[in-house]
Amino acid sequence: MRLSLTFSFTKNLLLPLHYNEILQGLIYRLLDKAIAEKLHDEGFVLGKSPIASLVAIATAF
């Protein structure tokens, strides 16, 4: 499954080279708390296979 998100900011955003954790945290904070905790703790189950949520984040600037 692939999900594409686009963020916009009123000011310039400066991210460190290794920014994945920052973006993951932002996405988790935007979700409902119960859903975010379930995804963080358990991941997403598709059939019998658990899929880690937010495994990799690729961005284009």
Q: Check pLDDT > 80 for residue 56.
A: no
Does residue 4 sit within a domain? Answer: no
- Structural domain including 25 reads 20-51
- Quote the pLDDT of residue 32: 92
Q: Between residues 21 and 34, which one has the greater pLDDT?
A: 34
Please list, in sequence order, all residues whose beta carbon lies within 8 angstroms of the beta carbon of residue 12, skipping any fewer than 6 positions away: none
In the chain, the percentage of residues whose pLDDT exceeds 90 is 7
Does residue 15 sit within a domain? Answer: no
Does residue 31 sit within a domain? Answer: yes
Does residue 36 sit within a domain? Answer: yes
| Rounded CA separation 25/59 (Å) | 15
Q: How many domains does the chain have?
A: 1
Does residue 5 sit within a domain? Answer: no
Q: What is the pLDDT of residues 31-55, one digit of tens each?
A: 899 988 888 887 777 777 777 666 5
Q: What is the pTM of this model?
A: 0.60
